Structure formats: structure tokens, C-alpha cells
């Protein structure tokens, strides 16, 4: 949420440049740079494998005093599992590269790995390696996670089509509300709403079960996880699918409690980062079947709009107001 959102559109450009200039090709590679994770099928294998990697840097992505080492470990893995969830695959293995300042001792490291493995256990992933090094500038974590398809099912960002309904799991803007509280010096949470926001920011729940279910049903079109904010990730889904979108603001599931703290819940829902919900499309003819069959045990989801033929992301307020363009920007921590 810190740096990344401040420069996410230039990040898009750099990624495109890297893909064109340095991206590799191979027969067994089904998806290289350009989705939530890369996809390949080892020669002779039935199932496809998916790999993703993510970094968390102290002072850039998090502040050391804003969470316990256990929460930091959890969150670092959650980012990666969320990318696997967005492909609809099962988490299997992960590696952890960790650089720490010399002042950090064994109990910190143990707590950090405790956080990692407690989340990994929930989703069936196991630690298979990594690296440990000394850092001169705070804690730095880099995780790579591998997932495997189930019955060869997988979902890509590019699978959306004009006319599809757009859905999102859970609610949006809760993690950004938690970040707001931390910035105000509120690290404990006096009310239930404050504790929920802090928990969402520190211990996000990757939607692996939901992603896997969606892939297995063969109902969904395109899918991406909401890591950089709805506006940014919806633009990415649209670009990959060759479509635009129209969303209805009154339908956005948002974290209303942040309104009483001086935040704008709608603004946080549109542009707040790190919710790690899933954003996906369902072809128009399948939305009724999808809604009727969506299991109660999973995180509820909401239809927020439709993919359109016309490019660009637009919103209506649901009360007959003007149709407006949605800017592609994530949550910028440094915006004053
Ligand atoms: Mg992602």
C-alpha cells in the first residue's frame, strides 16, 4: 500500500517493457509475464503448475511497529496465495527469502515463520526452501509460491467478455481503513470496527477456496485478485480481456464504519489496496446459475457491474446520476 500504489501505473509500463524485451517462450509455458502468476505444464504432467513471487520491504510496504512478526509472516504469504487464488489453483509449495538487520534475534524469526506456516497450513501449502541473509535496511521478505491446477481447470485475466457480469468477493476498502488507523497511531482498536479494519490490514485472508471453486465450476470468465485497489485491478482485467467496464457505485460492498473516522468508504473501496478479494466475470447467460449455486460456506460475493465492448472503466451512482470515468489509481500512502 505504501510505495506500490504511488507508482502502479508506471509499474504497469515497466512490466510491459520487461515482457516485450526479456520475456521467454517455451512450449511448456502457457502464460508468462502478464497475469497474476505464470503457468506451465511440465512435459508428461496432467496438471499445470503456477508460480508467483512477491516482495515486502520495511519502510516501503510496511512499518516494523505496525504488526507483530507473526502477522508479517502471515501477510507476506497471503499476498502470494492471493495470486494463486486468482488463477483458481491449489497452493502447494513456497520458498521464503528473508533479510534481517543484525538486531533481530531468533524469537523474531520463529514468530515470523510461525505466521507463515499457520496460513500455509490452512491452504495446504508447505515450505520447501529459501534463503536467510543480513540486511542493512530493515526487514525484507521475498516469497515465491507454487500452485497446481485441479482437474486441469484454471482462470486467466483475459477470460472476460463484453456483457459478463462483474463480481467481487467480500468487501473493499477495509484494509485501507486499517492502514488509516495505523497512520493515526491507533494500533490496538477500541471498537469492533477498528479491530476488524486492523485485522484486515494485518492478517488478510486470501480467497483460495473461492478461487478454486470458481475454476472448478467452469462458470467464470476472467479473474484477478484485488491487491492494488479495485480501480487499478479492474482496469487490468479489462485490458487483458479486451473489454471495458461499467460499475454501479451503490452496489460496491464497502467498509462503512470508516466513514465515522473521517474516511470516505467509497473512495477506499475504489482505490484502497491490499483487500486481496477476488474480482471475476461471469457470462451473462450464466449469472443466475452462478448465484444459485454459489456455496454458503464461501465468502459472499456481489455483482458490481458489467464488462462492456467500449474500453475504459466507468461508473454510475445508481441514483440516475451522470456516468463518469473511473481513474486508474491505487491507494497512495504519500498523498497528502
Ligand atoms: Mg494479483
| Three-class DSSP category at 91 | strand
Average pLDDT score over residue span 147-170: 98
d(CA 268, CA 129): 37
Strands (E), the chain: 29-31, 38-40, 49-57, 90-100, 126-134, 140-148, 165-169, 223-226, 244-248, 277-282, 301-308, 313-316, 324-325
Average pLDDT score over residue span 88-112: 97
Distance, CA 59 to ligand 1 centroid (Å)?
22
Q: How many Cβ atoms are within 10 Å of 169's Cβ, its own excluded?
A: 26
Distance, CA 57 to ligand 1 centroid (Å)?
18
Q: Which of 73, 55, 42, 64 is nearest to 4 (CA)?
A: 55
Q: Is the pLDDT of residue 7 over 50?
A: yes
Distance, CA 223 to ligand 1 centroid (Å)?
10
Q: How many Cβ atoms are within 10 Å of 45's Cβ, its own excluded?
A: 12
Average pLDDT score over residue span 234-262: 97
User: What is the chain's mean pLDDT, rounded?
Assistant: 93
pLDDT tens readout for residues 251-308: 999 999 999 999 999 999 999 999 999 999 999 999 999 999 999 999 999 999 999 9
In the structure, what pLDDT confidence band is assigned to residue 2 with cuts at 50, 70 and 90? very low
Looking at residue 3, its pLDDT comes to: 45
Average pLDDT score over residue span 161-189: 96
Distance, CA 317 to ligand 1 centroid (Å)?
27
Considering the chain, what percentage of its residues have pLDDT values greater than 90? 86
Q: What is the pTM of this model?
A: 0.94
Distance, CA 295 to ligand 1 centroid (Å)?
24
Distance, CA 283 to ligand 1 centroid (Å)?
22
**Sign of the Cα pseudo-torsion (161, 166, 313, 158, in order):** negative
Q: Is the pLDDT of residue 164 over 50?
A: yes
Amino acid at each position: 500500500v505504501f510505495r506500490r500504489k504511488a507508482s502502479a501505473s508506471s509499474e504497469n509500463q515497466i512490466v510491459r517493457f520487461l515482457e516485450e524485451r526479456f520475456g521467454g517462450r517455451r512450449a511448456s509455458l502457457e502464460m508468462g509475464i502478464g497475469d497474476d502468476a505464470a503457468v506451465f505444464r511440465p512435459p508428461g504432467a496432467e496438471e499445470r503448475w503456477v508460480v508467483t513471487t512477491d516482495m515486502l520491504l520495511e519502510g516501503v510496504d510496511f512499518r516494523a511497529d505496525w504488526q507483530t512478526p507473526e502477522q508479517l509472516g502471515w501477510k507476506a504469504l497471503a499476498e502470494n496465495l492471493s495470486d494463486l487464488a486468482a488463477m483458481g489453483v491449489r497452493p502447494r509449495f513456497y520458498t521464503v527469502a528473508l533479510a534481517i538487520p543484525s538486531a533481530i534475534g531468533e524469537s523474531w524469526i520463529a514468530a515470523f515463520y510461525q505466521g507463515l506456516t499457520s496460513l500455509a497450513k490452512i491452504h495446504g501449502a508447505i515450505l520447501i526452501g529459501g534463503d536467510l541473509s543480513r540486511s542493512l535496511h530493515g526487514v525484507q521478505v521475498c516469497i515465491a509460491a507454487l500452485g497446481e491446477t485441479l482437474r486441469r481447470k484454471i482462470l486467466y485475466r483475459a477470460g472476460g467478455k463484453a456483457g459478463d457480469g462483474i463480481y467481487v468477493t467480500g468487501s473493499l476498502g477495509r484494509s485501507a481503513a486499517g492502514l488509516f488507523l495505523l497512520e493515526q497511531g491507533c494500533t490496538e482498536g477500541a471498537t469492533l470496527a477498528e479491530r476488524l479494519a486492523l485485522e484486515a490490514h494485518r492478517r488478510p485472508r486470501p480467497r483460495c477456496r473461492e478461487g478454486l471453486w470458481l475454476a472448478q465450476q467452469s462458470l467464470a470468465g476472467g479473474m484477478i485478485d484485488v491487491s492494488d485497489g479495485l480501480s487499478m485491478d479492474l482496469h487490468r482485467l479489462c485490458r487483458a480481456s479486451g473489454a471495458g467496464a461499467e460499475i454501479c457505485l451503490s452496489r460496491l460492498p464497502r467498509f462503512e464504519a470508516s466513514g465515522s473516522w473521517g474516511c470516505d468508504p467509497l473512495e477506499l473501496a475504489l482505490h484502497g489496496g491490499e483487500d486481496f478479494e477476488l474480482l471475476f466475470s461471469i457470462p451473462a447467460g450464466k449469472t443466475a446459475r452462478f448465484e444459485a449455486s454459489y456455496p454458503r460456506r464461501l465468502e459472499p460475493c456481489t455483482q458490481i457491474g458489467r464488462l462492456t465492448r467500449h474500453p475504459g472503466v466507468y461508473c454510475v451512482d445508481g441514483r440516475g446520476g451522470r456516468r463518469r470515468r473511473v481513474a486508474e489509481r491505487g491507494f497512495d500512502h504519500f498523498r497528502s
